[in-house]
Structure 1
Amino acid sequence: MTVQNIVLSGIVGSTAYGLAHEGSDIDRLGVYAVPTVELHGLHRPKESHVTTRPDRTLHEVAKWCRLALGGNPTATELVWLPDELYEVRTPLGDELIGIRSSLLCAKRVRDAYLGYATQQFRRLEARDAGPVSEDGRRRTAKHARHLKRLCHQGLELYATGRLTLRVEDPQEYHDFGERVAADVAAALPVLRAYESAFDETAPVLPERPDEAAAESWLRRVRAHLYTAETAGS
Protein backbone atom coordinates (compact mmCIF):
# COMPACT_ATOMS: atom_id res chain seq x y z
CA MET A 1 0.00 0.00 0.00
CA THR A 2 1.42 3.36 -1.06
CA VAL A 3 0.00 6.40 0.69
CA GLN A 4 1.22 9.84 -0.29
CA ASN A 5 1.68 12.95 1.84
CA ILE A 6 2.45 11.20 5.13
CA VAL A 7 2.87 13.99 7.67
CA LEU A 8 3.88 11.97 10.74
CA SER A 9 4.39 8.28 11.34
CA GLY A 10 6.06 6.08 13.91
CA ILE A 11 6.24 2.79 15.77
CA VAL A 12 3.57 2.46 18.45
CA GLY A 13 2.08 -0.36 20.51
CA SER A 14 4.07 -2.79 22.64
CA THR A 15 7.40 -1.59 21.24
CA ALA A 16 6.67 1.97 22.35
CA TYR A 17 5.42 0.77 25.75
CA GLY A 18 8.52 -1.36 26.37
CA LEU A 19 6.32 -4.47 26.61
CA ALA A 20 7.37 -6.19 23.38
CA HIS A 21 8.79 -9.69 23.49
CA GLU A 22 10.42 -11.90 20.90
CA GLY A 23 7.93 -12.41 18.12
CA SER A 24 5.81 -9.35 18.96
CA ASP A 25 4.29 -7.53 16.02
CA ILE A 26 5.64 -4.10 15.17
CA ASP A 27 2.71 -1.70 14.95
CA ARG A 28 2.91 1.56 13.03
CA LEU A 29 0.58 4.55 13.17
CA GLY A 30 0.61 7.69 11.09
CA VAL A 31 -1.31 10.58 9.58
CA TYR A 32 -1.48 11.59 5.95
CA ALA A 33 -3.17 14.35 3.98
CA VAL A 34 -5.18 13.79 0.83
CA PRO A 35 -4.51 16.28 -1.98
CA THR A 36 -6.60 19.34 -1.22
CA VAL A 37 -8.27 19.31 -4.62
CA GLU A 38 -9.74 15.87 -3.87
CA LEU A 39 -11.82 17.37 -1.06
CA HIS A 40 -13.97 19.24 -3.58
CA GLY A 41 -15.37 16.32 -5.55
CA LEU A 42 -18.60 14.37 -5.23
CA HIS A 43 -17.12 11.68 -3.04
CA ARG A 44 -15.09 12.04 0.12
CA PRO A 45 -11.62 10.50 -0.02
CA LYS A 46 -10.83 7.48 2.11
CA GLU A 47 -10.07 8.49 5.70
CA SER A 48 -8.04 5.50 6.87
CA HIS A 49 -5.73 2.89 5.41
CA VAL A 50 -5.13 -0.24 7.46
CA THR A 51 -2.84 -3.13 6.55
CA THR A 52 -1.51 -6.25 8.26
CA ARG A 53 1.90 -7.70 7.61
CA PRO A 54 3.09 -5.06 8.08
CA ASP A 55 0.68 -3.81 10.76
CA ARG A 56 0.12 -0.19 9.85
CA THR A 57 -2.75 2.25 10.36
CA LEU A 58 -2.79 5.63 8.64
CA HIS A 59 -5.51 8.19 9.29
CA GLU A 60 -6.25 11.22 7.14
CA VAL A 61 -5.36 14.39 9.01
CA ALA A 62 -8.94 15.54 9.63
CA LYS A 63 -9.98 12.15 11.01
CA TRP A 64 -6.90 11.99 13.23
CA CYS A 65 -7.70 15.43 14.65
CA ARG A 66 -11.23 14.34 15.49
CA LEU A 67 -9.94 11.22 17.22
CA ALA A 68 -7.33 13.15 19.20
CA LEU A 69 -9.81 15.84 20.24
CA GLY A 70 -12.04 13.04 21.52
CA GLY A 71 -9.22 11.74 23.72
CA ASN A 72 -8.67 8.54 21.73
CA PRO A 73 -5.66 6.86 23.40
CA THR A 74 -4.33 5.20 20.26
CA ALA A 75 -4.41 8.39 18.21
CA THR A 76 -3.02 10.45 21.08
CA GLU A 77 0.10 8.36 21.53
CA LEU A 78 1.37 9.24 18.04
CA VAL A 79 2.32 12.76 19.16
CA TRP A 80 3.98 11.57 22.39
CA LEU A 81 6.43 9.03 20.96
CA PRO A 82 10.11 9.07 21.89
CA ASP A 83 12.04 10.75 19.07
CA GLU A 84 13.74 7.54 17.98
CA LEU A 85 10.42 5.85 17.20
CA TYR A 86 9.36 8.35 14.54
CA GLU A 87 9.95 7.08 11.01
CA VAL A 88 8.41 10.03 9.14
CA ARG A 89 8.53 13.47 10.72
CA THR A 90 7.83 16.46 8.47
CA PRO A 91 7.68 20.15 9.45
CA LEU A 92 3.90 19.87 9.57
CA GLY A 93 4.29 16.81 11.76
CA ASP A 94 6.50 18.81 14.11
CA GLU A 95 3.78 21.47 14.26
CA LEU A 96 1.26 18.80 15.21
CA ILE A 97 3.51 17.57 18.02
CA GLY A 98 3.82 21.19 19.11
CA ILE A 99 0.06 21.55 19.67
CA ARG A 100 -0.46 18.14 21.28
CA SER A 101 -1.33 19.54 24.71
CA SER A 102 -3.94 21.83 23.16
CA LEU A 103 -5.91 18.81 21.95
CA LEU A 104 -6.55 17.50 25.46
CA CYS A 105 -9.31 18.08 27.98
CA ALA A 106 -9.98 16.47 31.34
CA LYS A 107 -13.35 14.81 30.74
CA ARG A 108 -12.48 13.30 27.37
CA VAL A 109 -9.17 11.93 28.62
CA ARG A 110 -10.83 10.37 31.65
CA ASP A 111 -13.74 8.95 29.66
CA ALA A 112 -11.56 7.62 26.85
CA TYR A 113 -8.80 5.99 28.90
CA LEU A 114 -11.06 4.53 31.57
CA GLY A 115 -13.54 3.56 28.86
CA TYR A 116 -10.92 1.67 26.90
CA ALA A 117 -9.65 0.02 30.09
CA THR A 118 -13.20 -1.08 30.92
CA GLN A 119 -13.53 -2.54 27.43
CA GLN A 120 -10.41 -4.60 28.09
CA PHE A 121 -11.97 -5.87 31.32
CA ARG A 122 -15.17 -6.84 29.49
CA ARG A 123 -13.06 -8.82 27.04
CA LEU A 124 -11.39 -10.57 29.94
CA GLU A 125 -14.76 -11.49 31.43
CA ALA A 126 -16.05 -12.77 28.09
CA ARG A 127 -12.97 -14.92 27.54
CA ASP A 128 -13.20 -16.29 31.08
CA ALA A 129 -16.69 -17.62 30.34
CA GLY A 130 -15.43 -20.30 27.95
CA PRO A 131 -12.71 -22.94 27.77
CA VAL A 132 -9.20 -21.48 27.95
CA SER A 133 -6.53 -22.52 25.46
CA GLU A 134 -2.88 -21.54 25.64
CA ASP A 135 -3.53 -18.92 22.97
CA GLY A 136 -6.51 -17.68 24.98
CA ARG A 137 -4.32 -17.39 28.08
CA ARG A 138 -1.80 -15.28 26.15
CA ARG A 139 -4.56 -13.02 24.89
CA THR A 140 -5.97 -12.64 28.39
CA ALA A 141 -2.55 -11.60 29.69
CA LYS A 142 -2.22 -9.11 26.83
CA HIS A 143 -5.62 -7.53 27.53
CA ALA A 144 -4.72 -7.30 31.22
CA ARG A 145 -1.48 -5.48 30.42
CA HIS A 146 -3.38 -3.06 28.23
CA LEU A 147 -5.93 -2.45 30.98
CA LYS A 148 -3.25 -1.54 33.52
CA ARG A 149 -1.30 0.56 31.01
CA LEU A 150 -4.35 2.53 29.89
CA CYS A 151 -5.29 3.29 33.49
CA HIS A 152 -1.78 4.41 34.41
CA GLN A 153 -1.19 6.51 31.29
CA GLY A 154 -4.64 8.06 31.41
CA LEU A 155 -4.19 9.13 35.02
CA GLU A 156 -0.76 10.59 34.24
CA LEU A 157 -2.19 12.60 31.36
CA TYR A 158 -5.15 13.72 33.47
CA ALA A 159 -2.97 14.78 36.41
CA THR A 160 0.09 16.23 34.65
CA GLY A 161 -0.87 17.02 31.07
CA ARG A 162 1.95 14.81 29.83
CA LEU A 163 2.05 11.25 28.54
CA THR A 164 4.93 8.81 29.05
CA LEU A 165 4.48 5.85 26.73
CA ARG A 166 7.29 3.60 27.95
CA VAL A 167 6.23 1.95 31.20
CA GLU A 168 8.61 2.25 34.14
CA ASP A 169 8.64 -1.43 35.10
CA PRO A 170 7.73 -3.76 32.22
CA GLN A 171 8.05 -6.86 34.41
CA GLU A 172 5.32 -5.54 36.71
CA TYR A 173 2.95 -5.47 33.74
CA HIS A 174 3.94 -8.93 32.55
CA ASP A 175 3.47 -10.31 36.06
CA PHE A 176 0.06 -8.64 36.29
CA GLY A 177 -0.92 -10.18 32.97
CA GLU A 178 -0.01 -13.64 34.21
CA ARG A 179 -1.97 -13.17 37.45
CA VAL A 180 -5.05 -12.14 35.51
CA ALA A 181 -4.59 -15.00 33.04
CA ALA A 182 -4.80 -17.31 36.06
CA ASP A 183 -7.71 -15.43 37.66
CA VAL A 184 -9.58 -12.76 35.70
CA ALA A 185 -11.04 -11.35 38.93
CA ALA A 186 -7.55 -10.04 39.79
CA ALA A 187 -8.04 -7.25 37.23
CA LEU A 188 -11.10 -5.71 38.85
CA PRO A 189 -9.41 -4.22 41.96
CA VAL A 190 -6.88 -2.48 39.71
CA LEU A 191 -9.61 -0.97 37.55
CA ARG A 192 -11.57 0.16 40.62
CA ALA A 193 -8.43 1.64 42.23
CA TYR A 194 -7.76 3.78 39.17
CA GLU A 195 -11.39 4.88 38.98
CA SER A 196 -11.02 6.11 42.57
CA ALA A 197 -7.70 7.77 41.74
CA PHE A 198 -9.31 9.73 38.94
CA ASP A 199 -12.08 10.81 41.32
CA GLU A 200 -9.54 12.02 43.88
CA THR A 201 -7.18 13.78 41.45
CA ALA A 202 -7.53 17.41 40.43
CA PRO A 203 -6.89 17.55 36.68
CA VAL A 204 -4.51 20.06 35.15
CA LEU A 205 -6.27 19.74 31.82
CA PRO A 206 -8.90 22.27 30.72
CA GLU A 207 -12.61 21.56 30.50
CA ARG A 208 -12.55 21.65 26.71
CA PRO A 209 -9.84 21.03 24.10
CA ASP A 210 -8.59 23.89 21.96
CA GLU A 211 -10.34 23.03 18.71
CA ALA A 212 -9.12 26.30 17.20
CA ALA A 213 -5.52 25.07 17.41
CA ALA A 214 -6.44 21.87 15.56
CA GLU A 215 -8.46 23.80 12.99
CA SER A 216 -5.61 26.23 12.36
CA TRP A 217 -3.11 23.39 11.87
CA LEU A 218 -5.48 21.53 9.57
CA ARG A 219 -5.98 24.61 7.41
CA ARG A 220 -2.20 25.03 7.14
CA VAL A 221 -1.97 21.46 5.88
CA ARG A 222 -4.70 22.07 3.30
CA ALA A 223 -3.13 25.33 2.17
CA HIS A 224 0.30 23.75 1.87
CA LEU A 225 -0.96 20.92 -0.31
CA TYR A 226 -3.11 23.25 -2.41
CA THR A 227 -0.11 25.49 -3.06
CA ALA A 228 2.03 22.47 -3.95
CA GLU A 229 -0.63 21.20 -6.35
CA THR A 230 -1.15 24.50 -8.16
CA ALA A 231 2.60 25.11 -8.41
CA GLY A 232 3.03 21.78 -10.14
CA SER A 233 0.13 22.23 -12.60
Structure 2
Amino acid sequence: MRAGGPATVILSTVVGSHAYGLATAASDIDRRGVYAAPTESFWRFEKPPSSVDGPLAEQLTWEVEHFCALGLKGNPTVLEVLVSDRVEVCTDIGAELRALLRAFLSERVAVSYERATAQQLARATSAAEPKWKQVMHALRLLMVCRTLLATGELRIDMRADRDKLLAVRSGEVPLTECLAWADRLRTDIAAAPRAVPAEPDTRRVENWLVSVRRRNLDAHRTP
Protein backbone atom coordinates (compact mmCIF):
# COMPACT_ATOMS: atom_id res chain seq x y z
CA MET A 1 0.00 0.00 0.00
CA ARG A 2 2.85 2.35 -0.77
CA ALA A 3 2.30 4.97 -3.47
CA GLY A 4 4.33 8.10 -2.92
CA GLY A 5 4.65 7.64 0.85
CA PRO A 6 3.36 5.55 3.73
CA ALA A 7 -0.31 4.56 3.69
CA THR A 8 -2.29 4.26 6.88
CA VAL A 9 -4.87 1.59 7.65
CA ILE A 10 -7.60 3.52 9.42
CA LEU A 11 -10.10 0.71 9.92
CA SER A 12 -10.08 -3.07 9.75
CA THR A 13 -12.85 -5.42 10.83
CA VAL A 14 -13.84 -9.05 10.60
CA VAL A 15 -16.92 -9.49 8.42
CA GLY A 16 -18.59 -12.60 7.02
CA SER A 17 -19.88 -15.49 9.11
CA HIS A 18 -17.91 -14.55 12.22
CA ALA A 19 -19.52 -11.10 12.28
CA TYR A 20 -22.99 -12.45 11.49
CA GLY A 21 -22.95 -15.07 14.25
CA LEU A 22 -23.10 -17.84 11.64
CA ALA A 23 -19.55 -19.17 11.89
CA THR A 24 -18.82 -22.86 12.09
CA ALA A 25 -15.54 -24.67 12.70
CA ALA A 26 -14.92 -24.60 8.94
CA SER A 27 -15.55 -20.87 8.46
CA ASP A 28 -12.79 -18.65 7.12
CA ILE A 29 -12.01 -15.36 8.84
CA ASP A 30 -12.89 -12.62 6.35
CA ARG A 31 -11.28 -9.25 6.95
CA ARG A 32 -12.19 -5.99 5.24
CA GLY A 33 -10.61 -2.63 5.89
CA VAL A 34 -9.91 0.90 4.76
CA TYR A 35 -6.61 2.69 4.17
CA ALA A 36 -5.86 6.33 3.45
CA ALA A 37 -3.21 6.89 0.79
CA PRO A 38 -0.96 9.96 1.14
CA THR A 39 -2.62 12.93 -0.52
CA GLU A 40 0.47 13.69 -2.61
CA SER A 41 0.34 10.22 -4.17
CA PHE A 42 -2.71 11.30 -6.19
CA TRP A 43 -0.64 13.95 -7.95
CA ARG A 44 1.45 11.31 -9.76
CA PHE A 45 0.66 9.38 -12.92
CA GLU A 46 0.63 6.17 -10.93
CA LYS A 47 -2.30 6.41 -8.54
CA PRO A 48 -2.70 4.41 -5.34
CA PRO A 49 -4.58 1.13 -5.80
CA SER A 50 -8.31 1.26 -5.11
CA SER A 51 -7.94 -1.92 -3.08
CA VAL A 52 -5.22 -4.23 -1.81
CA ASP A 53 -5.36 -7.96 -1.09
CA GLY A 54 -3.67 -9.44 1.99
CA PRO A 55 -1.35 -9.81 3.68
CA LEU A 56 -3.60 -12.28 5.50
CA ALA A 57 -5.79 -14.80 3.73
CA GLU A 58 -9.30 -13.52 2.95
CA GLN A 59 -8.25 -9.92 3.62
CA LEU A 60 -9.11 -6.94 1.42
CA THR A 61 -8.45 -3.26 2.16
CA TRP A 62 -10.04 -0.44 0.16
CA GLU A 63 -8.57 3.04 -0.33
CA VAL A 64 -10.83 5.42 1.56
CA GLU A 65 -12.20 7.24 -1.50
CA HIS A 66 -13.12 3.99 -3.23
CA PHE A 67 -14.65 2.72 0.00
CA CYS A 68 -16.83 5.83 0.27
CA ALA A 69 -17.94 5.57 -3.36
CA LEU A 70 -18.99 1.95 -2.85
CA GLY A 71 -20.70 2.77 0.43
CA LEU A 72 -22.77 5.53 -1.18
CA LYS A 73 -24.03 2.95 -3.67
CA GLY A 74 -25.16 0.74 -0.78
CA ASN A 75 -22.56 -2.00 -1.26
CA PRO A 76 -23.45 -4.63 1.36
CA THR A 77 -19.91 -5.70 2.29
CA VAL A 78 -18.68 -2.12 2.56
CA LEU A 79 -21.54 -1.17 4.86
CA GLU A 80 -20.86 -4.19 7.07
CA VAL A 81 -17.39 -2.80 7.81
CA LEU A 82 -19.08 0.17 9.46
CA VAL A 83 -21.14 -1.94 11.89
CA SER A 84 -19.12 -5.11 12.54
CA ASP A 85 -18.33 -5.47 16.24
CA ARG A 86 -15.20 -7.45 15.37
CA VAL A 87 -12.94 -4.41 15.08
CA GLU A 88 -9.20 -5.08 14.81
CA VAL A 89 -7.92 -1.62 13.81
CA CYS A 90 -9.68 1.69 14.30
CA THR A 91 -7.80 4.99 14.31
CA ASP A 92 -9.46 8.30 15.16
CA ILE A 93 -10.20 8.79 11.45
CA GLY A 94 -11.55 5.25 11.28
CA ALA A 95 -13.90 6.09 14.15
CA GLU A 96 -15.06 9.16 12.24
CA LEU A 97 -15.81 6.96 9.24
CA ARG A 98 -17.88 4.54 11.30
CA ALA A 99 -19.77 7.50 12.75
CA LEU A 100 -20.78 8.44 9.18
CA LEU A 101 -22.86 5.27 8.78
CA ARG A 102 -26.22 7.03 8.49
CA ALA A 103 -24.89 9.30 5.75
CA PHE A 104 -24.34 6.20 3.60
CA LEU A 105 -27.74 4.61 4.17
CA SER A 106 -30.48 5.21 1.63
CA GLU A 107 -33.04 3.45 -0.51
CA ARG A 108 -30.20 2.53 -2.85
CA VAL A 109 -29.61 -0.49 -0.62
CA ALA A 110 -32.76 -2.08 -2.02
CA VAL A 111 -31.13 -2.20 -5.45
CA SER A 112 -27.63 -3.13 -4.31
CA TYR A 113 -28.75 -5.88 -1.95
CA GLU A 114 -31.15 -7.30 -4.53
CA ARG A 115 -28.38 -7.33 -7.14
CA ALA A 116 -25.98 -9.07 -4.76
CA THR A 117 -28.64 -11.58 -3.79
CA ALA A 118 -29.56 -12.36 -7.39
CA GLN A 119 -25.90 -12.93 -8.25
CA GLN A 120 -25.40 -15.25 -5.29
CA LEU A 121 -28.52 -17.29 -6.04
CA ALA A 122 -27.59 -17.53 -9.72
CA ARG A 123 -24.14 -18.89 -8.82
CA ALA A 124 -25.57 -21.13 -6.13
CA THR A 125 -28.10 -22.80 -8.42
CA SER A 126 -26.12 -22.98 -11.66
CA ALA A 127 -24.50 -26.32 -10.82
CA ALA A 128 -26.09 -29.73 -10.51
CA GLU A 129 -25.77 -29.53 -6.74
CA PRO A 130 -26.78 -26.24 -5.07
CA LYS A 131 -24.06 -24.29 -3.31
CA TRP A 132 -25.82 -24.12 0.02
CA LYS A 133 -23.48 -21.61 1.65
CA GLN A 134 -24.28 -19.06 -1.04
CA VAL A 135 -27.99 -19.79 -0.74
CA MET A 136 -27.75 -19.11 2.99
CA HIS A 137 -25.91 -15.84 2.50
CA ALA A 138 -28.41 -14.69 -0.13
CA LEU A 139 -31.23 -15.20 2.37
CA ARG A 140 -29.20 -13.42 5.04
CA LEU A 141 -28.69 -10.40 2.77
CA LEU A 142 -32.40 -10.16 2.09
CA MET A 143 -33.17 -10.35 5.80
CA VAL A 144 -30.68 -7.59 6.56
CA CYS A 145 -32.09 -5.43 3.76
CA ARG A 146 -35.68 -5.89 4.98
CA THR A 147 -34.75 -4.78 8.48
CA LEU A 148 -32.65 -1.87 7.23
CA LEU A 149 -35.38 -0.41 5.04
CA ALA A 150 -38.10 -0.88 7.67
CA THR A 151 -36.17 0.39 10.69
CA GLY A 152 -33.26 2.44 9.37
CA GLU A 153 -30.88 0.20 11.34
CA LEU A 154 -28.16 -1.92 9.74
CA ARG A 155 -28.17 -5.09 11.83
CA ILE A 156 -25.91 -7.89 10.70
CA ASP A 157 -26.08 -10.08 13.83
CA MET A 158 -28.07 -13.13 12.68
CA ARG A 159 -27.78 -15.26 15.81
CA ALA A 160 -31.55 -15.17 16.35
CA ASP A 161 -31.97 -16.96 13.00
CA ARG A 162 -28.79 -19.02 13.23
CA ASP A 163 -30.47 -22.43 13.38
CA LYS A 164 -32.70 -21.76 10.37
CA LEU A 165 -29.87 -20.35 8.28
CA LEU A 166 -27.40 -23.09 9.19
CA ALA A 167 -30.05 -25.64 8.23
CA VAL A 168 -30.02 -24.05 4.78
CA ARG A 169 -26.22 -24.12 4.69
CA SER A 170 -26.17 -27.83 5.50
CA GLY A 171 -28.66 -28.63 2.73
CA GLU A 172 -31.42 -29.68 5.10
CA VAL A 173 -33.93 -27.27 3.53
CA PRO A 174 -35.08 -28.10 -0.01
CA LEU A 175 -34.04 -25.59 -2.62
CA THR A 176 -37.67 -24.91 -3.55
CA GLU A 177 -38.34 -23.82 0.03
CA CYS A 178 -35.27 -21.62 0.05
CA LEU A 179 -36.32 -19.89 -3.17
CA ALA A 180 -39.85 -19.43 -1.84
CA TRP A 181 -38.35 -17.91 1.33
CA ALA A 182 -36.31 -15.52 -0.82
CA ASP A 183 -39.45 -14.51 -2.74
CA ARG A 184 -41.30 -13.76 0.51
CA LEU A 185 -38.42 -11.62 1.69
CA ARG A 186 -38.42 -9.71 -1.60
CA THR A 187 -42.15 -9.10 -1.22
CA ASP A 188 -41.60 -7.81 2.31
CA ILE A 189 -38.82 -5.52 1.07
CA ALA A 190 -41.01 -4.09 -1.68
CA ALA A 191 -43.85 -3.43 0.79
CA ALA A 192 -41.72 -2.21 3.69
CA PRO A 193 -42.07 1.41 4.82
CA ARG A 194 -38.89 3.32 4.05
CA ALA A 195 -37.09 4.40 7.21
CA VAL A 196 -34.07 5.61 5.21
CA PRO A 197 -33.83 8.61 2.88
CA ALA A 198 -34.17 8.24 -0.87
CA GLU A 199 -30.56 9.29 -1.40
CA PRO A 200 -27.42 9.13 0.76
CA ASP A 201 -25.86 12.26 2.22
CA THR A 202 -23.14 12.48 -0.41
CA ARG A 203 -22.16 16.02 0.55
CA ARG A 204 -21.45 15.03 4.14
CA VAL A 205 -19.35 12.05 3.08
CA GLU A 206 -17.45 14.09 0.49
CA ASN A 207 -16.72 16.89 2.94
CA TRP A 208 -15.33 14.35 5.38
CA LEU A 209 -13.19 12.77 2.64
CA VAL A 210 -11.76 16.18 1.71
CA SER A 211 -10.92 16.76 5.37
CA VAL A 212 -9.05 13.45 5.45
CA ARG A 213 -7.04 14.39 2.37
CA ARG A 214 -6.25 17.80 3.85
CA ARG A 215 -5.19 16.39 7.22
CA ASN A 216 -3.13 13.69 5.51
CA LEU A 217 -1.32 16.30 3.44
CA ASP A 218 -0.58 18.43 6.49
CA ALA A 219 0.71 15.39 8.37
CA HIS A 220 3.30 14.62 5.66
CA ARG A 221 4.54 18.14 5.11
CA THR A 222 8.09 18.86 6.20
CA PRO A 223 8.23 21.76 8.70
Q: TM-score, normalised by structure 1?
A: 0.88
Q: Distance in 1 between matches of 2:216 and 2:61?
A: 18
Distance in 2, Cα, partners of 1:190 & 1:115: 17
Residue 179 (structure 1) shift: 4.0
The offset of 1:51, in angstroms, is 2.9
Question: CA deviation digits over 1:84-141, x for unaligned, max 9?
Answer: x1111111111111111111111x11011122111111112202xx3x4xxxx6xx12
Matched residue, 2:102: 101
Task: State the AA in 1 paired with 2:202.
Answer: E
- Please give the alpha-carbon distance, in whole angstroms, between the structure 1 residues aligned to 2:28 and 2:185: 28
Aligned residue number for residue 16 of structure 1:
19
Instruction: Identify the match of residue 36 of structure 1 among 35, 39, 48.
Output: 39
Q: SS of 1:169's equivalent?
A: helix
- Provide the identity percentage: 31
Picking from 133, 142, 145, the partner of 1:151 is: 142
Q: For the Cα contact (< 8 Å) 2:14–2:88, is it kept in 1?
A: yes
The answer to whether the 8 Å contact 2:145/2:189 transfers is no
In structure 2, what is the equivalent of residue 45 of structure 1?
48
Residue 53 of structure 2 aligns to a residue whose secondary structure is strand
Q: Which runs of 5+ in 1 are unaligned?
A: none
Task: State yes or no: 1:121 paired with 2:94.
Answer: no
**Cα RMSD over matched residues?**
1.8
- Cα displacement (A) at 1:52: 7.1
TM score, norm. by length of structure 2: 0.92
Greater percentage in helix: 1
Aligned pair partner of 2:157 in 166, 172, 194 = 166
Distance 2:154 2:196 in 1: 12
2:72 to 54, 69, 73: 69
1:224, distance to aligned residue in structure 2 (A): 1.3
Residue 206 of structure 1 and its aligned partner are, at CA, apart by 0.7
